[in-house]
Amino acid sequence: MLKEIFEHRSIRKYLDKAIPKEVMDEVLQAAIRASNTGNMQIYSIIVTSEKSLKQALAPAHFNQAMLSEAPTILTFCADFNRFQKWCDLRNANYAYDNILAFITASVDAIIAAQNACVEARHHGLGICYLGTALYNPDKIISVLNLPKGVVPVTAITIGYPAENPPLTDRLPSEAVVHYETYKDFSEEDINRIYSEKEEREDSKQFIKENNKETLAQVFTDIRYKKSDFEHFSKILIDTLKNQGFLK
């Protein structure tokens, strides 16, 4: 078992220390080594270390504090721009102005991101994903000058950790692993699978702080609300249209 994987915790506080170029190069090379669709490498990685640019990106990530602390932000984008240019120059018909192309390129970008995260940990760096990249892709496109065919799908803060938080819990493996075919969950299964999480002191505290009856309500009513999902879905759909992946 790889300790880089099993000791992973998201790091949200960073030392004021730049990442040496040779270390960052290895992190980026690890990302590039990842499997990718047809070896087309239909993604790009934007490395942002300049303070003014990080500040410009912060609102797109809802001003999460770690953005100003981390020396670098990596933004992973689904990217058919370069590939399209190559096709155009080589008399090849471009066929990727559709949703399958976006999802395919997104999968590649995310696999590359996770390779970068594991390599980062190997160098003693900490990372935290910024899911907010998908909430405000339009703002990120504007700050990072992303051309048509390019959409940010995830981002990470990366730097030397200034904290060592405890490992977070995980559901038992029966929650996510199905052998041979999918076995749907009975009420009893759900109760068993979520019981440990629901019994944790931090979960109980979470419910109390948010004035809710159940942990699930903290997710649906506070953290990941339907109204937010609907609002940001609209922005994402408009962005995919503007960037040429949806008509």
Ligand X SMILES: Cc1cc2nc3c(=O)[nH]c(=O)nc-3n(C[C@H](O)[C@H](O)[C@H](O)COP(=O)(O)O)c2cc1C
Task: Tell me how far, at minimum, the Cβ of 180 lies from ligand X, in Å.
Answer: 27
Choice from 9, 123, 197, 212 touching ligand X (CB under 6 A): 9
Distance in Å, CB of 184 to ligand X, minimum: 25
Segment 104-143, which members bind ligand X (CB under 6 A)? 128-132
| Between 43 and 83, CB nearer to ligand X | 43
Classify 78 as helix, strand or coil: strand
- Concatenate the DSSP letters of all residues of 143-212 into one string: HHT--TTEEEEEEEEEE-BS--PPPPP---GGGT--SSS--PPPHHHHHHHHHHHHHSHHHHHHHHHTT-
Residue closer to ligand X (CB basis): 84 or 106: 106
Site for ligand X in 178-237 (CB under 6 A): none
Q: Side chain identity at 150, as an amino acid letter?
A: V
Q: How far apart are CB 87 and ligand X at their closest, in Å?
A: 30
Nearer to ligand X, 128 or 218 (CB): 128
Confirm or reject binding of residue 10 to ligand X (CB under 6 A). yes
Q: CB-wise, 59 or 131, nearer to ligand X?
A: 131
What is the spatial distance between Cα 247 and Cα 238, in angstroms, rounded to a whole number? 10
Neighbours of 117 (CB within 10 A): 25
Please state, in angstroms and rounded to a whole number, the distance separating the CA atoms of residues 232 and 246. 16
The span from the first CA to the last CA of the chain, in angstroms, equals 45
Q: Which regions of 109-164 does DSSP assign to beta strands (E)?
A: 126-130, 150-159
**Cβ pair 76, 153 in contact under 8 A:** yes
CB of 120: closest distance to ligand X in angstroms? 13
The residue nearest ligand X at its CB is 131
Q: Given the complex with ligand X, which of 88 and 228 has the nearer CB atom? A: 228
At 23, which amino acid appears?
Answer: V
Interface mask (CB under 6 A) for ligand X, residues 20-59, using x and -?
----------------------------------------
Binding site for ligand X (CB under 6 A): 8-10, 12, 64, 128-132, 154, 168
